[in-house]
Amino acid sequence: VDAGQNLLCRLADNNVANVYHIFASYEYQPTPAHFDVVQRGPGYSGEYDLVIPDTRAGDYYILVFATDLASDPGAYELELTYVDHHFAALSPVEAGNKGPVTLSLSGAGFTAGTGVRLLAGDGTPYAAQSVRLVNSSNLHATIDLQGVVVGMYDLELSWPSAGVETFEDAFQVTRGIGGRLEVALSLPGTIVWYRPYTMTLSYRNTGDSDMVAPIIKVVTLHDDSGISLTPGGPYQYVAGDSVQVLGVASDGPAGVLRPGGSGQIPIYYRSNGAHGRVEFNLETLRDPDAAVDWDAVEQEVRPPDGVGWASAWQAYTRSVGPTWGDYQASLAAVATEFWQEGALVYDVEQLFARSLNIVRFRASAELRGTVVDNQSGHPQANVVVLLTEPVDASQEPEVAKALSDSEGRYQFSHLPPGTYDVEVVGYPSVSPAQVMLGENEILSDVLLRVPYGGAMEGIVRDNAGKQPMAGVAVMLRSDQAKARMTLTDDAGKYRFAALEAGLYSIQAASPSFATRRYTGLQIWPGQVMREVDFLLDEGKTVTGGVSDAQSASTIEGAIVAAESADGLTFTARTSSTGAYI
């Protein structure tokens, strides 16, 4: 392939019962989990059009993956051509007439000057109110459909250098219901007190119009359950404490939840079990027209050094507006700004801090870059990056976090100047492990390299009912690396990534169950060892006593050791009566 081209890969198949996904990668063979670009399903023309924009000189590999095949699939053709501009697909292809809808267009040759309109059957045009260019192969256009006539509409694209193209019956307007929000919170079915767990906040727009990314609050109901947006805490343990997130979109402008748009956010918690149960409330904004008590909000956010604060705060509240709906819209706009810069940010506190935009009183440095593996340089998507500023042992460290997007990009904004320790959750190390930020400094294109290696995964079940066990501690050890521990998820699954080649032992342990261990497991470079599963039996109890062989008097504090058939050693200390258990 030549450099600087738009390569169109078109798959033609006359059998509509067949459904394909097309994957492409530069200089390596793609898989459905590892690729550079993808086209899922047919586009506007009914064909499968995958566009590789701005190509690099060299070899590209293409994978055609059939998700559904007829009993007699027949033949297909794959055509490769260079194009200057091309419209491939539109999403969604229908929406209701109760509000705006944001359309996602894919193809090639898009620019900031590309015009987008919908044309009614009588020729009435409905132009996009805003067009956001993602790159030359993707753009998002928002069109207000409030009250428009139900029916089929043509899509009109104005190419600055190639004139106007019209695509007939590309979009359908239906009788609308507007945006509709569905929210759910899922927790592990079984928990063990004092252990950290992850619950998943899921949200979806089930309506047929855009909706502003919603503010969602997760509230702890008991003071024995801590909650946090950061893995490992710090946790908030006071009943009524909460974390607030914005239900951002990952497939378009983050502040807009398009029809069918959805997302998931991890919420971390730990409980000491004082109430014998774990309970949380989910709250969303019910009345967007209700007035915000800005005076109360100010008391929570006013900095210790308040010089010049009054005028700055007044300017901020005026720019936002008087209602909670105005506040939500301002956070959504900031989330979209982050998205345009390559970061997906959902923490309301972080969005609020940026929306204030008062550099004098807020942190000013920024850090941006990509998380990649240290061998192939492949981006690591959806990983949590943590920045911790070293402090005295008597102080609680401040932790900043960011979630990498689908291309491995992360961003931290409004950081105080200083030196930060870097961690990528789930990986044993990262390079660099420390970064230094100066006053108002912006570090961009910082690559965080995590180890490339093998992986080991499996499921833990109880031997009696063969049911998956959540929250089981799985420990992995080897001679060449530090021991690593993880907890099984709701489905009883665990996974260790970035493993060096070598021999490993692994064990699974859970209260009231006998610990199991495997040894001599060989991992080769890049190998994924699957189905390293455990069946745990309920633990057995061994009791007895220790006494002096000559005097028969009991011995207190003696260590009694027992070794299992798979090499595990269990110890107990005798009590004042010489008994052990």
Per the model's pLDDT, the better-predicted residue between 33 and 289 turns out to be 289
Quick check: 313 pLDDT over 90?
A: no
521 lies in the same domain as 435: no
Decide if 1 is inside a domain: no
Q: What is the CATH number of the domain that holds 242?
A: 2.60.40.10
Decide if 133 is inside a domain: yes
78 lies in the same domain as 115: no
Give the least confident one: 100-104, 184-188, 334-338, 382-386.
382-386
527 falls in which pLDDT band (50, 70, 90)?
Answer: confident
327 lies in the same domain as 412: yes
Decide if 478 is inside a domain: yes
Decide if 41 is inside a domain: yes
298 lies in the same domain as 435: yes
45 lies in the same domain as 104: no
25 lies in the same domain as 129: no
Token pair 């009993």 in the structure block, residue: 71
DSSP class per residue in 323-346: BHHHHHHHHHHHHHHHHHTT-B--
Greatest distance between any 2 Cα atoms in the chain: 109
What whole-number distance in Å separates Cα of residue 17 and Cα of residue 72?
Answer: 10
Using the 8-state DSSP alphabet, how is residue 236 labeled? B
Contact (CB, 8 A) for 220 and 236: yes
- What is the three-state SS of 125-151? EEECCEEEEEECCEEEEEEECCCCCCE
**Domain end among 61, 83, 105:** 83
Decide if 340 is inside a domain: yes
311 lies in the same domain as 419: yes
The winner for highest mean pLDDT among 197-206, 422-431, 490-499, 542-551 is: 197-206
Sheet holding 365-373, edge to edge: 409-415, 365-373, 442-450
Decide if 2 is inside a domain: no
pLDDT score, position 310: 65
Q: What is the CATH number of the domain that holds 473?
A: 2.60.40.1120
pLDDT score, position 565: 66
What whole-number distance in Å separates Cα of residue 537 and Cα of residue 539?
Answer: 6
What whole-number distance in Å separates Cα of residue 364 and Cα of residue 440?
Answer: 5
118 falls in which pLDDT band (50, 70, 90)?
Answer: very high
pLDDT in tens, 459-480: 999 988 889 999 899 999 988 7
Per the model's pLDDT, the better-predicted residue between 492 and 68 turns out to be 492
458 lies in the same domain as 443: no
pTM of the shown model: 0.60
pLDDT score, position 308: 47
- Which among 128, 168, 176 has a CA at the least distance from the CA of 148? 176
301 lies in the same domain as 406: yes
pLDDT score, position 332: 95
Decide if 11 is inside a domain: yes
pLDDT score, position 45: 80
**Domain end among 51, 83, 115:** 83
Count of structural domains, the chain: 6
pLDDT in tens, 244-282: 999 999 888 999 999 999 999 999 888 877 666 778 889
Decide if 289 is inside a domain: no
Per the structure, the complete domain to which residue 13 belongs is given by: 7-83
Q: Specify burial of residue 118 (Cβ count, 10 A radius: 0-12, 13-18, 19+).
A: buried
Give the 3-state secondary structure of residue 255: coil
pLDDT score, position 271: 81
Contact (CB, 8 A) for 144 and 100: yes
pLDDT score, position 312: 67
356 lies in the same domain as 412: yes
Give the least confident one: 35-44, 257-266, 357-366, 500-509.
357-366
532 lies in the same domain as 554: no
**Domain end among 83, 104, 134:** 83
Q: Specify burial of residue 296 (Cβ count, 10 A radius: 0-12, 13-18, 19+).
A: exposed
pLDDT score, position 359: 38
Per the model's pLDDT, the better-predicted residue between 431 and 74 turns out to be 431
280 lies in the same domain as 421: no
